[in-house]
A and B are shown apart, each in its own frame.
Chain A
Amino acid sequence: MSSQIESLVNKEYQYGFVTDIESDAIPPGLTEETVRQISTRKNEPQWLLDWRLKAFKRWQSMTEPRWPNVTYGVIDYQAQTYYSAPKSVKPLQSLDEVDPELLKTYEKLGISLNEQKRLSGVAVDAIFDSVSVGTTMKEELKKHGVIFCSFGEAVLEHPELVQKYLGSVVPYSDNFFAALNSAVFSDGSFVYIPKGVRCPLELSTYFRINAADTGQFERTLIVADEGASVSYLEGCTAPKRSTNQLHAAVVEIVALDNAQVKYSTVQNWYAGDKDGVGGIYNFVTKRGKAFTNSKISWTQVETGSAITWKYPSVILQGDNSTGEFYSVAVVNNKQQADTGTKMIHIGKNTKSTIISKGISAGHGQNSYRGQVKVLPKATGARNYTQCDSMLIGNQCGAHTFPYIEVGNNTATLEHEASTSKIGEDQIFYCKQRGLNAEHAISLIVAGFCKEVFKELPMEFALEAQQLLGISLEGSVG
């Protein structure tokens, strides 16, 4: 049985190819000069450079967190390249001007930037190494007043919005990796949905790391004004390389009064080979701030990266605000993940839901780390946490680290946890009904992840399905 499971979970990484393209890179190393150079290349205003420099100073005084339940070698921050952009990409270029080689890369990844061939109902911002190569459907979105563009473009075209909200949810001083990102971030996506507008399209950003020894430090800022709503999708892949590459992103979400933001991720960074050589180090800070009656929902399917350190969180600032976290994290071979969420209840009658599904195979180590904090003024706060782990094989591990702090005795918190194992008996039962082992495992895993998959937008459910080799038909909803 174990060999059948192995062959299923050890499917080849399909996105490991490299695009041969000339790039403009700032030499490896990180000094104040690097920060200035990045800012210059992006024609940034002084206030942003100042902000970067403050972040850099702060970062220099910080130490890398080693509390996560993962082990990895020393990261030499001076050996990394912090900026690499395809030479052919010009600032503010239109999609017609995009290098065909880059278009081909995205086609190969299954992401068409050609508006005629686009997925209906989805606008895409494509980030290649340090820069955005293009954003589709901008005109259509403009009609509704929706701004969806690269971060660099937003800084130039909508500086007042960027300046108002940048760092308002994740301050540059927040943590080691957030500070690093604030100093050297090169691009990312920016979204603004005006008051009362329901974004007519799904917005999505596709992140691709291509260059060797280059880190990707993107920054995403999503602002949903009062009564607005948007669904945003994020996908990630990288070539197979034998060295580890750093990805330290920051995502900030602001949901003003009565707004709703749904943020979905299918993370499939290169995970390293079966011996744990290579792969992405994914150290990401994602956080949303929810104002009165608003709702922020994170859904993530994490299958890639050698190391994952990621806690998409919601600050429930306003009364009656809602935070949700739905997660499937898969580790295989030598992958390690320490992921979970933080729900900080500040407003009255705030509500949060956490559904975490961890799947461990091979020698993978999967940790759920979640914090639920209820502040003294958060009368009537409610949290429901469900944390399930599934083990495939005998060499892997699943760990749970819940932190609960309650400062208001009217709060209601529920926590449920379970650990299960795909056993020979389950597989034999399916086989006895005529299903082969691969089909059986897909079925069992899909059933396990059902509560999370049903939260994914249609387009992504499909991708998640392919990613896990799972047939979702009928088991969702």
Chain B
Amino acid sequence: MLKIENLTANVGEKAILKGISLSVNPGEVHAIMGPNGSGKSTLAQVIAGHPGYEVTGGTVTYDGQDLLEMDAEVRAQQGIFLAFQYPVEIPGVSNAYFLRAAYNEIRKARGEEEVDPMEFLDIMAKKLKVVEMDEAMLQRSVNAGFSGGEKKRNEILQMAVLEPKLAVLDETDSGLDIDALRIVAEGVNKLKRPDNATIVVTHYQRLLNYIVPDFVHVLAQGRIVRSGGKELALELEEKGYDWLLEPAGASA
């Protein structure tokens, strides 16, 4: 589904990603872990097409197409979803309106009919249950005045509605208390299907108690320094990241 080969990317003059290779197949859950500043969020943003990052080398293929050639909105329409670490506020625009606009853009891209507000409310009623959210949330402005937990839950609600093929969760666990973490994680698990894939970017292992990964990759200084199964996450929990940084430096 997603094939990243030797990807390098800069912010301004500074190289952040220094050669990432990663393959993600349908039905898989990949966790990207690593210390602060290792490039985890940059990788998520580059996959989503944020204009603030310059890809300087390597290739990214998504469903057989060159992902790097696509505009951010085309990537979204093709089924890539990024759950933001810091969801953005859009005052005055209701959540329901925003979500329907997004939903219809994605339907249009698939050659499907747009849905009207009444039909959309029916769809929403089901999706709200996934993240245990109240209908009142739909009438509030997008993320404006939301608590940190509400924002993250709102991201998962959007994910539930847009049904992405590839979901990238960027530090979705940060700032969540244990209950919110459980709700968010259960939401993600409910959305899991054999034909979609998830990349979970996280600093801490605790999210992976709820969302069990098939693969764990450790990112440090812009490179994947180790890949393994879910047990690698537990090892990191126990030992921290330092023991991985040294060999990475040595082998560079």
For chains A and B in complex, what number of residue pairs have CB atoms within 8 angstroms?
87
Q: Using known A-B contacts A431-B76, A434-B77, determine if residue A443 contacts B90 with beta carbons closer than 8 Å.
A: yes
B93 close to A475 (CB less than 8 A): yes
Task: Give chain B residues whose Cβ lies under 8 Å from the Cβ of A447.
Answer: 90-93, 141
A426 interface contact, C-beta 8 A: yes
A435 close to B102 (CB less than 8 A): yes
A-B contact pairs, 15 of them (CB 8 A): A1-B51, A420-B91, A424-B52, A426-B88, A428-B88, A431-B76, A432-B72, A432-B81, A434-B76, A434-B77, A443-B93, A447-B93, A448-B91, A450-B92, A474-B117
Q: Using known A-B contacts A1-B51, A431-B71, A435-B105, determine if residue A475 contacts B91 with beta carbons closer than 8 Å.
A: no
A439 close to B92 (CB less than 8 A): no
**Chain A interface secondary structure, helix, strand, loop or mixed?**
helix
A426 close to B52 (CB less than 8 A): no
B33 interface contact, C-beta 8 A: no
Q: Using known A-B contacts A431-B71, A431-B76, determine if residue A425 contacts B88 with beta carbons closer than 8 Å.
A: yes
Give the shortest distance, in Å, between A127 (CB) and chain B (any CB): 34
A449 interface contact, C-beta 8 A: yes
Say which size band chain A's interface belongs to: 20 to 34
Q: Using known A-B contacts A429-B88, A447-B91, determine if residue A434 contacts B106 with beta carbons closer than 8 Å.
A: yes
B72 close to A428 (CB less than 8 A): yes
A433 close to B92 (CB less than 8 A): no
> What 8 pairs across the A-B complex have the smallest Cβ distances?
A447-B92, A447-B93, A434-B105, A433-B102, A474-B97, A429-B88, A450-B92, A434-B76
Give the shortest distance, in Å, between B45 (CB) and chain A (any CB): 9
Further pairs besides A432-B73, A450-B92: 20, Cβ < 8 Å: A426-B88, A430-B90, A432-B49, A432-B82, A433-B98, A433-B162, A434-B162, A435-B73, A435-B105, A436-B71, A439-B105, A443-B93, A443-B98, A447-B93, A447-B141, A450-B93, A474-B94, A474-B96, A475-B92, A475-B97
Chain B residue at smallest Cβ distance from A428:
B50
Chain B residue at smallest Cβ distance from A426:
B88
Of A431, A446, A473, which is in contact with the most chain B CB atoms at under 10 Å from its CB? Answer: A431
The chain A residues found within 8 Å of chain B, CB to CB, are 1, 420, 424-426, 428-437, 439, 443-444, 446-451, 473-475
Task: Give chain A residues whose Cβ lies under 8 Å from the Cβ of B77.
Answer: 434
A444 close to B73 (CB less than 8 A): no
B51 close to A444 (CB less than 8 A): no
Q: Which parts of B104-159 form the interface with A (CB within 8 Å)?
A: 105-106, 109, 117, 141, 158
A448 close to B87 (CB less than 8 A): no
B48 interface contact, C-beta 8 A: yes
Of A424, A434, A448, which is in contact with the most chain B CB atoms at under 10 Å from its CB? Answer: A434
Task: Give chain A residues whose Cβ lies under 8 Å from the Cβ of B92.
Answer: 446-451, 475
Give the shortest distance, in Å, between A473 (CB) and chain B (any CB): 7
Of A420, A431, A432, which is in contact with the most chain B CB atoms at under 10 Å from its CB? Answer: A432
Task: Give chain B residues whose Cβ lies under 8 Å from the Cβ of A443.
Answer: 90, 93, 98, 101
**CA gap between A229 and B237 in the complex, in Å:** 72
Task: Give chain A residues whose Cβ lies under 8 Å from the Cβ of B165.
Answer: none
Chain B residue at smallest Cβ distance from A477:
B94
Give the shortest distance, in Å, between A169 (CB) and chain B (any CB): 34
Task: Give chain B residues whose Cβ lies under 8 Å from the Cβ of A433.
Answer: 76, 98, 101-102, 105, 158, 162
Task: Give chain B residues whose Cβ lies under 8 Å from the Cβ of A450.
Answer: 92-93
Task: Give chain B residues whose Cβ lies under 8 Å from the Cβ of A436.
Answer: 71, 73, 105
Give the shortest distance, in Å, between B121 (CB) and chain A (any CB): 11
Chain A residue at smallest Cβ distance from B109:
A434
B117 close to A429 (CB less than 8 A): no
